[in-house]
Structure 1
Amino acid sequence: MLWSLSFALLLWNPSVSNAQGSNKAQQYSFDNLPTVKGTAFKKDTINILSYGAKNDGITLNTKSINAAIQAMSKKGGGVVVIPAGLWLTGPVELKSNVNLHLQKNSLLQFSKDFKQYELVKGNWEGFPQMRNQSPIWANQEVNIAITGFGIIDGGGDAWRMVKRDKLTESQWKKLLASGGIVSEDKKIWYPSALTMKGSKMKDAGKISPEKTPEFYESIKDFLRPNLMVLNRCKQILLEGVTFQNSPAWNLHPLMSEDLIVRNVYVKNPWYAQNGDGIDIESCKNVLIEGSTFDVGDDGICIKSGRDAAGRERGMPTENVVIRNSTVYHAHGGFVIGSEMSGGAKNIFISDCTFIGTDIGLRFKTTRGRGGVVENIYAKNINMKDIAGEAILFDMYYAAVDPVPLTGEQRLAPKVELLPVTEETPIFRKFYIQNIVCDGASKAVFIRGLPEMSISDIYLDNLVIKADEGVDIQEAKNIHLTNAHLDIPGAKPLLYIQNGKSINFKNIDYTNAELLLRVSGAENKDLKISDTGTTKAKVLSEFTHGAKPEVFEIKKTKK
């Protein structure tokens, strides 16, 4: 069966009130979108019981499962069945033309014995690195699938370090009683001394000539694998299965093409460090639908390599459709970055719900990345109980949790103008509409760089209840249209720092101590129209070199 991205978007209509935005949105919505090639398998079936597998939770079934997969692939393909039961195993390698099918009440449990996982050359956060072999992996395979109704458990709790501030007192005491080592400041628990040793090194897993096999062995426990890595594969289907408890990222398709993820459940403890749901890295032609994510880091994330290594790879993630999915706990519901040095384009997310995530729509990068992120569309997104920003664009990503822990102090980044180079990231052409958010710390945050403004963002039809309003810094050609902001006593409701061509139209709000604050000497062409002013005690305020003449009220209403 062929799944057409063009067909998938027949109901998509990312029109924007602004005429310029509408034309651009139409241009990128329907033209030249490729198809996602589906998988197809023979009906031939092998049950892993035929290869000696035992579901007693004690027998290690690594050889049995892999032998069944290899035999089926050599026969030309078909279905390898994992029946009901608890199946203990080491790493499983997927092979071309094989559908690994988990029947109801099946649990594929990956061993917590680190000796089962060889150290291999892999990729971590956009860099080539030495890692432990992923529990599920495939390299340059074609027409592969994991389907069914069972659960795949990565045994991640044996690998992950844990921050004390993310557990209750009783949970922390239970963790300490299980063994492991605690840091000198008593704030981090490590599963082993090798994990602790690796954590104290910069780029510990980075592959370099001076590092010997003995060195990597000395920090082996720290080099956590992703639960599933599919490297340079084509025609992939993940359907119906639960993926949970990963050592690091959960699902990691890397430099792959034609991926369908349907009706999966991706689950990690909320305190799971680096416990991302799915990281789509340098992939082309992707459809994610009907899936649920409840994890310890970013939920659904787009990546394309990091810094010089990502730019050299030069493979953007492109042509991605995400729809009818739910994200519960996560650092971000839908995320692009921060490792996006190869670029990202033609990404469409619609009809999704985020509940309890730190940030709703999260777009992040930083100096040094380079890369271009453009033609991003989001529509019909519902959010509830967002701890941070409902919508965030930030080019000062600092590799920390998006919401500070209790008592944690963070300084604002130093603002300085640097030369534009290949290391300067570019964010542009975002079209976001029909967003409803019931509760957030801040409604919208947009922060570019002095040398590279975020540009061409069209936000239309937003209803957001939050503690703070809209914050726009170092940005140009930003359009906020048809927004209801429920932010009682906002001071200010709208903030602009060094913005150019910023347009607010038809903004409804509860009330405000201050409607607009403008800061900085580089502001130009700021407009508000079709917006009432009587509910604001003070209309505008200009600071740090901003001049009143850059601001224009075109039309007002009560």
Structure 2
Amino acid sequence: MLSPRFGNSYVISVISIVLILGSVAESRVVSSKIESFDYPAINCRKHSAVLTDFGAVGDGKTSNTKAFNAAISKLSQYANDGGAQLIVPPGKWLTGSFNLTSHFTLFLQKDAVILGSQDESEWPQLPVLPSYGRGRDAPGGRFSSLIFGTHLTDVIITGNNGTIDGQGSYWWGKFKKKQMKLTRPYMIEIMYSDQIQISNLTLINSPSWFVHPIYSSNIIVQGLTILAPVTSPNTDGIDPDSCSNVKIEDNFIVSGDDCIAIKSGWDEYGIKVGMPTQHVIIRRLTCISPDSATIALGSEMSGGIQDVRAEDITAISTESAVRIKSAVGRGGFVRDIFVKGMNLNTMKYVFWMTGAYGQHADEGFDPKALPNVTNINYSNIIAKNVTFAGKLEGISNDPYTGICVSNTNIEMAANKKKLPWNCTDVSGVTSSDVTPQPCALLPQKGKFECAYPSDKLAIDKVQFKTCNFKSSNLF
């Protein structure tokens, strides 16, 4: 059984190993010749270039922002001629924010490290997101993400486990001192786009959220190792936001915030934009986040969240498993949520829902805008060393309904609370194989299995192709 102390030590050890590996990569000599290689992707490219073709220097000190932008500008010319791929070779490539293009692949080789600049002049400013109405850190605008794209089709960020290091400590320090006048940059943000693949990379130390697809569709996020200190602020791992048809699988995340947070806008702004996040599959996720959730739904969910499927989930030394966060004024809905197969060790909460997550964009929210939370299903759960089995709190005149729990065994910790379940303003049922015995608002109704869809989402049917890089394809 893992203790919280063991869990935090484990996190520190993982991050230390990554930093050591990064130092080793820095010391290696960069070869001028790149051998041919294959990789899996949703689409392959006809043309290729290497970052060094554009004057980039991989010493970890020279700014390569102009080189990245020049490379992508050149390669954008091939969008209608089979597309293009930019190879980032071994080395440490310091850069500010840069924008991707359509029918494009950014490929990080093994021992390639993209470093986020700590010079704010290299981060363009963007207006606030329409569904948020303000920045998350400050009312004004926001910095562009390290890797950004908008209105794109068919964009891939992948590699042979290359690394993107946001060097977030600079930004965390300013945030903690309340010195941010704009919202911190995310690591990767893709907006208003279709066909997105982010895969087979190590992402560390983002200034804020790591991966943020928004207003987009047909998204695959796969095979990422995401690492940030567990004390780092707002370092969510993967945040699909007002997105449809999303597959998130085979990811390992250590975070100072939610490992995955599903969102769809904030209060009256999210209601106005009205773009739900829907048709999401999450599988084979491992999460460590002592102060946050494995999977969070909300709290910005005013455009709605529906048809989310999570299976084969592991959490260690994490505050909660699947958490629903909403509030009066959010509006929107969280419905048709299906969770099957969670293995949890050292948790504060297994089941946690709240209708009192009171952060608001501004005073303009509608107090009559109440969230609709219904049809929430959990099955096949094993949890050990748990403080609270469940804390389920709806809203007094807006109860959360249709909660179902089956085949669940929760072993309480030595410091367990006298009442393992705390339930108000909720309704639902549990099967007879749920232990400890649930609260009265979730009565046990014999042996049954909570619902889980049998159909396959369209995004789950997408097959990767075997793509390749050949030096003969360099222009």
TM range, normalised to the smaller chain?
0.7 to 0.9
Q: Deviations over 1:303-326 (max 9, x none)?
A: 000111000111100000010121
Distance across 2 between alignment mates of 1:135 and 1:421: 36
Q: Is 1:102 equivalent to 2:105 in the alignment?
A: no
Which of 322, 331, 343 lines up with 1:361 in the alignment?
322
Q: Deviations over 1:265-318 (max 9, x none)?
A: 111111111111111100000001111111111111110001110001111000
Aligned counterpart, 2:433: 482
How far off its partner does 1:39 sit? 2.9
Q: Which has the larger radius of gyration?
A: 1
Instruction: Pick closer, same or farther for the CA change 1:374–1:309 going to 2, 3 Å.
Output: same
How far off its partner does 1:477 sit? 3.1
Instruction: Pick closer, same or farther for the CA change 1:137–1:152 going to 2, 3 Å.
Output: same
Which of 379, 385, 406 lines up with 2:340 in the alignment?
379
Secondary structure in 2 matching 1:253: strand
* TM-score, scaled to structure 1: 0.67
Q: Deviations over 1:484-526 (max 9, x none)?
A: 32xxxxxxx6544xx4xx421469xxxxxxxxxxxxxxxxxxx
Which of 384, 387, 405 lines up with 1:438 in the alignment?
384
Distance across 2 between alignment mates of 1:349 and 1:494: 22
Aligned counterpart, 1:450: 396
Aligned counterpart, 1:160: 172
* Mapped contact 1:482–1:505 kept (Cα < 8 A): no
Number of equivalences: 387
Distance across 1 between alignment mates of 2:349 and 2:313: 17
Q: Is 1:50 equivalent to 2:53 in the alignment?
A: yes
Q: Deviations over 1:404-455 (max 9, x none)?
A: xxxxxxxxxxxxxxxx975101110011100111112101121111101110
Distance across 1 between alignment mates of 2:185 and 2:238: 14
Distance across 1 between alignment mates of 2:443 and 2:318: 29
Distance across 1 between alignment mates of 2:438 and 2:198: 43
* Mapped contact 1:240–1:264 kept (Cα < 8 A): yes
* Mapped contact 1:455–1:478 kept (Cα < 8 A): no
* TM-score, scaled to structure 2: 0.78
Aligned counterpart, 1:271: 231
How far off its partner does 1:399 sit? 5.2
Instruction: Pick closer, same or farther for the CA change 1:399–1:128 going to 2, 3 Å.
Output: closer
* Mapped contact 1:39–1:144 kept (Cα < 8 A): no
Q: Is 1:229 equivalent to 2:189 in the alignment?
A: yes
Q: Which amino acid aligns with 2:162?
A: G
Q: Deviations over 1:76-101 (max 9, x none)?
A: 22210000001111112111011000
Q: 5 Å matches for 1:128-277?
A: 128-129=134-135, 130-148=141-159, 149-161=161-173, 189-190=176-177, 195-196=178-179, 198=180, 219-220=181-182, 223-277=183-237
Distance across 2 between alignment mates of 1:150 and 1:345: 34
Aligned counterpart, 2:129: 123
Q: Which amino acid aligns with 2:107?
A: H
* Mapped contact 1:431–1:459 kept (Cα < 8 A): yes
Distance across 1 between alignment mates of 2:124 and 2:164: 20
Q: Deviations over 1:335-383 (max 9, x none)?
A: 1011100111110000110111111111111111011111000001111
Instruction: Pick closer, same or farther for the CA change 1:441–1:125 going to 2, 3 Å.
Output: farther
Q: 5 Å matches for 1:338-349?
A: 338-349=299-310
Show structure 2 runs of 5+ residues with no match. Answer: 1-40, 136-140, 361-365, 448-475
Distance across 2 between alignment mates of 1:494 and 1:462: 11
Q: Which amino acid aligns with 1:394?
A: T
Aligned counterpart, 1:318: 278
* Mapped contact 1:125–1:339 kept (Cα < 8 A): no
Aligned counterpart, 1:547: none
* Mapped contact 1:380–1:435 kept (Cα < 8 A): yes
Q: Is 1:81 equivalent to 2:87 in the alignment?
A: yes
